[in-house]
Amino acid sequence: MGTRHETRHAKLTAWGVTAYNDMSTNAPQLRVYQKMEREGSLNFHVSGSIAMNDWAKDRVVDPEPLLAMADEYRSSLFDPIGRKWWCDGTPLSKTSLMIAEYADGGHGVMSCDKTDFDRMIEEAKSGRAVRVHAMGDGTVRAMLDVFEQIRKLYPESISQPLHIAHNGFLRDEDIPRFRRLNVVADFSPVQYYRGTLASGAEKAVGAESMKYFAPIKKTIDSGAHVAIGSDWPTGTRDANPLRMLQVLVTRKNPYEKNADEPLGDTISVEDGIRVMTQGGAYSMRKENQLGSIEKGKTADMVVLNRNLFEIDPDSIIDTKVVYTIFAGKIVYDAAMPRSVSGQ
């Protein structure tokens, strides 16, 4: 477990990543984070999230032992503040709740119930970061209803962001609620372009629901806090921010040159970089420490071989990381990657 985790960290460093949300932290990972920090090899700020349920319901998950021990692992680099619920699966298997009917009928299901909702309210009251996996627009709406209840019961909690990850489908009328309720909209551009995944989604949910597929531009324009998640290593081939940025800016397949129409509204390079840096820091509740190069913040940054504002957006993925700098120290050097990052 430790070696695999450390190898993944080396890849993240080579991709220019210096901070992230770990959206499903287990006991072995807690030990690995602690070990790496003691050895001086944890070159990331990490916000950990303990799994509170199992979306597939194929095994019993008891989070209590892990919750009881998590605070023992808190450090300057690792903060186990999060609580993670899988409130649905994926529209591809009808394990997501949809507002409109699926193409072959029915609205799908959620994997969270009132017991989970009550626990979310309890955790939010205690100041924990409540984070939810929600793909279907029906699931997203149900979770916003729960978060609305949290804000009404504990209005003082409004300064502490809540978090909905994926938002694969999101209705226009629900978008303003993210800003009003201070909920981070975390999008995962695994395949926000015409390809196998998007085609499968359209076949499952139908053309009407596809009108509400990954509306990241509308969400940014609403003034909501937006962040980007990689869904790596389980849901996508890599966590390369440059790949994700190109998808967000072009909404086309980044791996081949094509004349396809963008699948949805594109965003600017500036907005893409902002949600991937400042947006990510806000989702971690570390916006005063991370996310921008400013006096008083930690010196985390990446040096690229090209100016992203001056190149063809269709070639962003071809940009290379020259240096990754963490806390003012070069932790990845493309000229000698093994000697710095241990790859």
216 against 337, higher pLDDT: 216
| 3-class state of residue 263 by DSSP | coil
pLDDT digits (tens, 9 = 90+) for 159-203: 999 999 999 999 999 999 999 999 999 999 999 999 999 999 999
| 3-class state of residue 268 by DSSP | coil
252: in domain: yes
**Average pLDDT, whole number, for the chain?**
94
325: in domain: no
301: in domain: no
pLDDT digits (tens, 9 = 90+) for 278-325: 999 999 999 999 999 999 999 999 999 999 999 999 999 999 999 999
Instruction: Tell me what pLDDT residue 2 has.
Output: 54
**Biggest CA-to-CA distance, the chain:** 56
CA distances from 109 to 26, 113, 198, 235 (A): 26, 11, 20, 21
Q: What is the token pair recorded at 222?
A: 């609403």
Q: What is the token pair recorded at 59?
A: 């095994």
Instruction: Tell me what pLDDT residue 343 has.
Output: 43
> 3-state SS string over 53-92?
CCCCCCCCCCCHHHHHHHHHHCCCCEEEEEEEEECCCCHH
Q: Distance between CA atoms of 47 and 220, rounded to whole angstroms?
A: 23
Q: Distance between CA atoms of 177 and 197, rounded to whole angstroms?
A: 28
Domain ranges, residue 264: 2-292
Amino acid identity for residue 237 in this structure:
R
For the domain that residue 27 is a member of, what is the CATH number? 3.20.20.140
Return the CA Rg of the chain: 20
pLDDT digits (tens, 9 = 90+) for 118-150: 999 999 999 999 999 999 999 999 999 999 999
227: in domain: yes
What mean pLDDT is predicted for residues 76-81? 97
pLDDT at 342 over 60: no
304: in domain: no
H-type alpha helices, the chain: 2-14, 27-39, 64-70, 114-125, 137-153, 175-180, 196-205, 207-210, 216-221, 241-250, 269-283, 337-341
Q: Answer yes or no: are the C-beta atoms of 172 and 218 closer than 8 Å.
A: yes
Model's pTM, two decimal places? 0.95
312: in domain: no
139: in domain: yes
Q: How many domains is the chain partitioned into structurally?
A: 1
241: in domain: yes
- What percent of the chain has pLDDT above 70? 94
Q: By C-alpha distance, which of 229, 163, 245 is closest to 19?
A: 229
